[in-house]
Structure formats: C-alpha cells, structure tokens
Amino acid sequence: MHEWALAESVIKTIKSGKNIKKGSPVEVLFGELQDIDREIFSFALDELLKQEPELKKTRIKIETEKAEFECVSCGAKFDLKAAVNTPEEKENIHFIPEMAKAFIKCPKCRSHDFEITKGRGLSLRVTGNGEKCRKH
Ligand SMILES: [Zn+2]
C-alpha cells in the first residue's frame, strides 16, 4: 500500500503548511515516472482528507509532471517522448523507473548516461489566494 503511505505524507505536509490551511488550493505534481497507481493514490488522498476537519476547505488537484532528462555527456535536455522509441518501452519505464536507464538514450549523442531531472516522485505546489497556477 505504497499509495496510502504517500497520500498520508502529502496530508501531513499540507497540515504543516500555513498557507494551505487557509484553504489555498494545493496541486500535487505526480511524476510521469512514478510507479504508483494514480487512481488509488487519488482515492487515498480523498479519504484521508475527509478525516481532517481542519482541512475541510482544502482542495487538492493532481497534475502530471512530465519527465525530463539531462544528458551527462552532451548536456542535451529531452523528454520521455524523445527518448524512447516504442510504446512498449514507454510502458515499461512507467512501471519500473529503474529500468529507464536501459531503455532511454540521449536523442542527440545516444548516451545512456543521463540524469532524471523531472518526473520522479511527487511534489506539492500551493497557489496563494485564488491565484492561478501556471500550466506546464
Ligand atoms: Zn547526449
């Protein structure tokens, strides 16, 4: 139940944030390479939120954060689409992010030596008083 544990830590983070308590919308950026079930996670988040009366006004939105890679050899930045060739490969990477290294090549220099700079794990973004968030 990895999803529940993650949802719990999101709620904890929200509870510790001053701005969020006042009812500012919270965006959970859900990494494209995250290997958890988004539906279960979203359900867990809703359920846990209901148990927190002080977060009654809090709205949580889940957004996908696109994966981004940076080649160590040549410095090129690229996304998942540019890096993989077949839909099957893309599926594999989704479920097993550790396998990314085996599948992904720098589209410029074909090196397997790269860093994952975005799209791993979860992060929270709080938008202040009704202010709209920039979309990626
Ligand atoms: Zn490269």
Domain boundaries, the chain: 2-126
Per-residue pLDDT tens over the stretch 81-128: 887 767 777 666 665 666 667 778 899 999 989 998 998 888 888 775
In tens, the pLDDT along 22-74 reads: 677 889 998 888 778 889 999 999 999 999 988 888 889 999 999 899 999 99
35 CA to centre of ligand 1 in angstroms? 26
- CATH number of the structural domain 2-126: 3.30.2320.80
In the reported structure, the alpha carbon of residue 14 is separated from the centroid of ligand 1 by a whole-number distance in angstroms of 38
User: What spacing in Å lies between the alpha carbon of 116 and ligand 1's midpoint?
Assistant: 13
Helix (H, G, I), strand (E, B) or coil at 60: strand
Dihedral of CA 59/60/63/65: which sign? positive
Ligand 1 centroid vs 95 CA: distance in angstroms?
A: 24
Predicted TM-score (pTM) above 0.75 = no
